[in-house]
């Protein structure tokens, strides 16, 4: 019988020039863009001080995420070795030993908290909350149905809130709701794709879900995201001609949500960051939305 606690011999021969970089998952660093969402929505991202503080906060949360990825890969190494794609992660493949990965993750987490502290105690507090909730996720909550989805979505909300505290801008309730429901929508799509691919080998919690419930969650999240965004965007109607473009931006925003929902229903969505650039309709909708929002906020 194969011992899944140890990397197979075939994987031990796998080479990667920068295994610590791979362990840090640079393909996920784009999530740091969430730290710029609040100052951008507040219309201050073009101010050097706000941009700098948001950038420092983004670096802090990227470092915290690197720490979480390292801890997660050590914890999940036995399950990852049974997965066709995740078996090539450095710890699962035997490229990095668990102690080295834990030291790397711990150093990244400490550096992240120190960086967050440099932009203020509120941002540090959110950084600590992010680190604690994600560690709880890695070491247990990821196996609790429903809770696992909420915790992942909460991570995006904490990022968005940290961007606001770092840039020292107020954040509306509607903005936080868009962040929450939008994150739930992406997570629901990811879980739906994993469930359809019978990916329970590396994510046992999927066995607790049904396709009907995941479809229901996707629908609820889509509705919550669209309504929250609409209420945020339409509140500016009547202020001036450019701010009315925010209301118009609702159309490409909704188109993108519906298009992504269609992709999820067809079995795609496990890698949301890839689908956005692979699908032309999603890409055009996203660019149109960004142009309208940018013009509405910064040409007024």
Of 85-99, 185-199, 225-239, which has the strongest mean pLDDT? 85-99
Among the candidates 126, 148, 168, a domain finishes at 168
> Which alpha helices (H) appear in 168-267, and where do they start and end?
173-196, 211-234, 244-248, 250-265
- Phi-psi map region of 15: left, alpha, beta (phi>0 left; psi -120 to 50 alpha): beta
Return the minimum-mean-pLDDT range out of 13-27, 94-108, 214-228. 13-27
> Which of 142, 168, 194 is the C-terminal boundary of a domain?
168
Whether residue 162 is found in the same domain as residue 177: no
Same domain, 177 and 299: yes
**Has residue 20 been placed in a domain?**
no
pLDDT digits over 129-186, tens only?
Answer: 999 999 999 998 988 989 999 999 999 999 999 999 999 998 878 888 999 999 999 8
Domain-embedded: residue 179: yes
* Residue 269 and residue 293 share a domain: yes
- Do 283 and 203 share a structural domain? yes
The residue that leads in pLDDT, 28 or 291, is 291
Average pLDDT of 96-123?
A: 94
Q: Is residue 17 part of a domain?
A: no
**Are 297 and 177 members of one domain?**
yes
Same domain, 248 and 197: yes
pLDDT for 197 equals: 72
CATH of the domain at 96: 1.10.357.140
Query: At a CB cut-off of 8 Å and minimum separation 6, what does 130 contact?
Result: 61, 64, 155, 158, 159, 162
| Shared-domain flag, residues 105 and 187 | no
Regarding whether 297 and 177 lie in a shared domain, the answer is: yes
Of the candidate ranges 115-124, 185-194, 206-215, 232-241, the one whose mean pLDDT is the lowest: 232-241
Residue 8, pLDDT > 60, answer: no
- Mean pLDDT for the stretch of residues 210-217: 88
Last residue of a domain, one of 113, 139, 168: 168
> Does any domain span residue 7?
no
**Residue 16 within a domain:** no
Residues 69 and 99 in one domain: yes
Counted domains in the chain: 2
The tens digit of pLDDT for each residue in 238-275 reads: 555 567 888 899 999 999 999 988 888 877 766 676 77
pTM summary value: 0.84
Contacts 24+ apart (CB under 8 A), 246-253: 246/292, 246/293, 246/296, 246/297, 248/292, 248/296, 249/288, 249/289, 249/292, 249/293, 249/296, 250/226, 252/284, 252/285, 252/286, 252/288, 252/289, 252/292, 253/226, 253/229, 253/285, 253/289
The residue ranking higher by pLDDT, 44 or 11, is: 44
Residue 135 lies in a domain: yes
Q: What is the pLDDT of residue 202?
A: 57
Same structural domain, 113 and 230 = no
* Beta strands in the chain, from DSSP E residues, in sequence order: none
Q: Is residue 19 part of a domain?
A: no
Q: Are residues 187 and 291 in the same domain?
A: yes
Give residue 105's pLDDT.
94
pLDDT at 270: 65
Same domain, 131 and 207: no
Q: Print the domain residue range for 129.
A: 31-38+45-168
Is residue 137 assigned to a domain? yes
């Amino acid at each position: 019988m194969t011992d899944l606690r140890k990397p197979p011999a075939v994987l031990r021969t796998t080479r990667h020039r920068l295994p610590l970089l791979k362990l840090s998952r640079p393909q996920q660093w784009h999530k740091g863009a969430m730290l710029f969402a609040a100052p951008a929505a507040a219309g201050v991202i073009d101010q050097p001080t706000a941009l700098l503080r948001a950038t420092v906060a983004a670096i802090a949360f990227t470092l915290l995420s690197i720490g979480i990825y390292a801890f997660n890969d050590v914890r999940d190494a036995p399950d990852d070795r049974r997965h066709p794609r995740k078996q090539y992660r450095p710890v699962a493949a035997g490229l990095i030993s668990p102690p080295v990965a834990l030291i790397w993750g711990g150093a990244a987490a400490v550096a992240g908290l120190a960086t967050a502290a440099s932009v203020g105690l509120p941002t540090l507090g959110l950084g600590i909350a992010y680190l604690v909730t994600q560690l709880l996720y890695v070491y247990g909550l990821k196996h609790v149905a429903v809770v696992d989805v909420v915790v992942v979505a909460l991570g995006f909300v904490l990022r968005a809130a940290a961007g606001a505290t770092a840039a020292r801008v107020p954040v509306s309730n509607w903005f936080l709701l868009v962040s929450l429901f939008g994150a739930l929508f992406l997570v629901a799509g990811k879980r739906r794709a994993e469930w359809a691919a019978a990916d329970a080998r590396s994510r046992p919690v999927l066995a607790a879900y049904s396709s009907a419930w995941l479809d229901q969650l996707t629908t609820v999240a889509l509705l919550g995201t669209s309504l929250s965004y609409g209420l945020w965007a339409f509140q500016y109607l009547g202020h001036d001609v450019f701010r009315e473009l925010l209301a118009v931006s609702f159309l490409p925003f909704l188109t993108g949500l519906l298009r992504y929902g269609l992709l999820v229903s067809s079995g795609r969505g496990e890698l949301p960051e890839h689908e956005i650039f692979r699908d032309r309709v999603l890409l055009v909708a996203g660019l149109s939305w960004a142009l309208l929002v940018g013009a509405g906020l910064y040409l007024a």
